[in-house]
Structure 1
Amino acid sequence: MSFKMKYEVKADYIAKGKRRPGTFITPKFGVLHDTGNPGSTAKNNRDYFNNTPNDPTSASAHTFIDDKVIIESVPATTGKTERAHHVRYQMPQDNALYGDDSNDIGIGVELCFGGKINFEEAYKRYVWYCAYVSYKFGFSPKKWIGHEKLDPDRKTDPTNALKKYGKTYAGLLADIIKEYEECTKEITSAAPKPKPEDIKEADDMLEKAVVINAFPDFPFAELLASRIKAPIYVRGALPSGKIAKEVFVVGGTKDGLQADSFVMLTGKNRFEVAAAVNAYLNR
């Protein structure tokens, strides 16, 4: 399967230091950011980070995108992938969803906006690049999540930028999936259409998954997930669409979830939820 290269990805790496330690990583998902600095271009941001390589915050990102250029300031798709520091390490959500910290297995992509930046052109490049990253590293285009979902008490990106131009977080996730599908579409006009019985589920479709209503349910869900060997998803940070064939709901309802079947382990309070999980595990 090939990918349609609509835009050039420019390698313009920042100096090594606290912002770019040079540690190699294997990406498993992507994190959606905006710069939070209206009017600053991709080069402006890259240069700022390059000129302060040992800033105490050590903050960085892999890629900055505006209406003119896509710049990788820390190697992602243009070189052997290195770690960037784009999400705080003490956040539990990325570990719960993906099994590790964002900085260690995630690609951080920043959207530039405001000022003289043509947002529509920047947005097109942003969506395309995220789809390309999924293709490049072989993870589902559904595995993108906003910084605001991983650090909700402090961060509002990328919705911070999107809402200024009439766009939404859910719309962005859908656009990435659509772009991925369009850019990986093969020319098959001469080929016969597959029969419904020949169509297989996507390779990334899980057999089982655990969905928790809120983080207080995590301790109970962790025991269950370990037993059934399934990942844990937080309802507020779920990828769109169907995530697994069978979904175990720990706390809350199944409203809005998609699956072939559900196992409901819930109750009126945390004690009842814990009891439901324990009862299932001790069957």
Structure 2
Amino acid sequence: MATENWKGVKVRYQLLTKGTRRYGEKMDGGKPQFIVAHDTGNINTTAQSNVTYYENTYNIPWNNVASAHIFVDDKECIICIPTTEKAWHVLYDAPTDNIWYNRDANDVAIGVEICYFSDRERSRKALDNGARVLAYLAEYWHIDYKTRMPGHQDIQADKQDPGNALEASGYGRNTSNLDKLVAKYYKQNVKVKATPVKVEKGATSFTRDEFVKWLKSTVDKQYDYDLYAAFQCVDYANVGWDKLFGHGLKGNGAKDIPFNAYNKDKFKSEATVFKNTPSFLAKPGDLVVWGEQMGNGWGHVAWVVEATLDYIVVLEQNWLGGGWTSGPINNGTGWETVTRRKHEYDTQMWFIRPKFSKKKTESKLLKKSKEKKKEKQITWNWKGRFTTNTTIKVRRSPSVKGSVVPSSDWLLSNQWVDFVSITKKDGYWWAKFKYPTNPSSGYFYCALCKITDKQEKIKNEKYWGSINWK
């Protein structure tokens, strides 16, 4: 899909399948009235990993639902819910948004989630990207960021974001520190240096196997590519073609896809078109098009995932006509999802075969993007009960730079907490815990001991108390 550039940040759309996370309901008034700055609360997760999680749980039960419009990390920004639709990023029962703006944030506000990392430089880059995106949105929607861009922590008492991202970047947790970063880019022209990337003309970065694997991940989902007439077969074809080449296909119905002038020009570099014959063998990854004998004259289109000389197995949408069964044509819905089916070949049938990448000729850039960077482990999900023998400060993050809670909430001698993980950082071992008397307040951290063992093994250290490991 084509990307945009917002004040130097690469921005792309990866809209969620409509469900509970993205309900598709328009904002009250049709446009956003303020912006809420968030951080993900999940350290070391990227924009893509968060959007992927949302997509994999796109229809999560309502009592667990949460969502946001935008995720930003140190590399990119992903829009997963249109900024004119509602998203569920602030508790409806939280009173402050109503007091300040006379509206619930979910109904009229954009939610922007900023990622943060153990690596401070990555966190600072992600925060800077987040500030650029927030500045762009404030300009675009004519929103005063100084008065109408609260942090989540400012309007919902039990939240700590975007303080986590600010702290991970070396700033204080107050949202005013984010405002200062946004001020650098608000109504400022940001020069962007173009970086040319050599790509073989027409070649997709996907191999055949990679694309078929992605196709199989779409089963039971619904796709409305053009936001018209809900979940049509052509929508699913376009989602796949966009995945491969960054654009959809055109035509007055599925039957026109092989013959449309725009498509034929694109196919010169992107695909080969085959008319079905008795000896033709389809391949996984082919886009198959039926003629006007199908779909009441509109034709039909699907993606091939298996084939023999006798039949094809496809993934398709709206084969049974259940793609659009209710609602207006521009915002309707239907019951039919992407489904796997077996079909016989037909005389009026065309196969469009994308020019897939081959492993041996993959670009260095593609290979590099696939390499998994192995980060040194600093956290272990070890559980136990820690009983103190002295007073210990309590912090909001596992670091000597983490903000300290009021002294009335420190751990006193002979008090205990049950911890769920331990972290090695800044020369100390830290325990993650909830107060046994107030677990709803969330997780906090206390130091267990200094690191003195040469091998840095916690069980060889002298604790400021005792630990009963579980």
* Alignment TM class, shorter chain as reference: 0.5 to 0.7
Q: In the alignment, is residue 159 of structure 1 matched against residue 169 of structure 2?
A: no
Q: In the alignment, is residue 14 of structure 1 matched against residue 21 of structure 2?
A: no
Q: 1:160 to 1:7 in 2, by over 3 A?
A: closer
- State the shift of 1:4 in Å: 6.8
- Equivalent position of 2:69 in the other structure: 62
Distance in 1 (alpha carbons) for counterparts of 2:137 and 2:6: 12
* CA root-mean-square deviation: 2.0
Identity %: 37
Runs (4+) of structure 1 moved beyond 4 Å?
none
Q: Which has the higher helix share?
A: 1
Distance in 2 (alpha carbons) for counterparts of 1:171 and 1:114: 18
Q: Residue by residue, what CA displacement relative to the aligned partner does 1:45-64 show, whole Å, maximum 9, x if unpaired?
A: 00000110121222000011
Q: Residue by residue, what CA displacement relative to the aligned partner does 1:9-55 show, whole Å, maximum 9, x if unpaired?
A: 21001111111010112101110111111111000000000110121
Aligned pair count reads 178
Q: Partner amino acid for 2:13?
A: A
- Equivalent position of 1:149 in the other structure: 154
Structure 2: any 5+ residue segments left out of the alignment?
191-470
Larger Rg: 2
- Equivalent position of 1:140 in the other structure: 144
Q: Which has the higher strand share?
A: 2
Q: Partner amino acid for 2:143?
A: F
Distance in 2 (alpha carbons) for counterparts of 1:92 and 1:141: 20
- Equivalent position of 1:100 in the other structure: 103
Q: In the alignment, is residue 174 of structure 1 matched against residue 188 of structure 2?
A: no
Structure 1: any 5+ residue segments left out of the alignment?
185-283
Q: 1:140 to 1:45 in 2, by over 3 A?
A: same
- Contact 1:64–1:112 (CA<8 Å) still a contact in 2? yes
Q: Partner amino acid for 1:23?
A: E
- Contact 1:63–1:71 (CA<8 Å) still a contact in 2? yes
Q: 1:118 aligns with which of 115, 122, 125?
A: 122
- Contact 2:46–2:115 (CA<8 Å) still a contact in 1? yes
- Contact 1:4–1:183 (CA<8 Å) still a contact in 2? no
- Equivalent position of 1:214 in the other structure: none
Q: Residue by residue, what CA displacement relative to the aligned partner does 1:252-272 show, whole Å, maximum 9, x if unpaired?
A: xxxxxxxxxxxxxxxxxxxxx
What's the TM-score once normalised by structure 2's chain length?
A: 0.36
Q: 1:115 to 1:4 in 2, by over 3 A?
A: closer
List aligned pairs for 1:28-107, cutoff 5 A. Answer: 28-56=33-61, 57-76=64-83, 81-107=84-110
- Contact 2:127–2:166 (CA<8 Å) still a contact in 1? no
List aligned pairs for 1:194-209, cutoff 5 A. Answer: none
Q: Residue by residue, what CA displacement relative to the aligned partner does 1:97-116 show, whole Å, maximum 9, x if unpaired?
A: 11200011100000111146
Larger relative contact order (C-alpha < 8 A, sep ≥ 6)?
1
Q: 1:121 to 1:165 in 2, by over 3 A?
A: closer
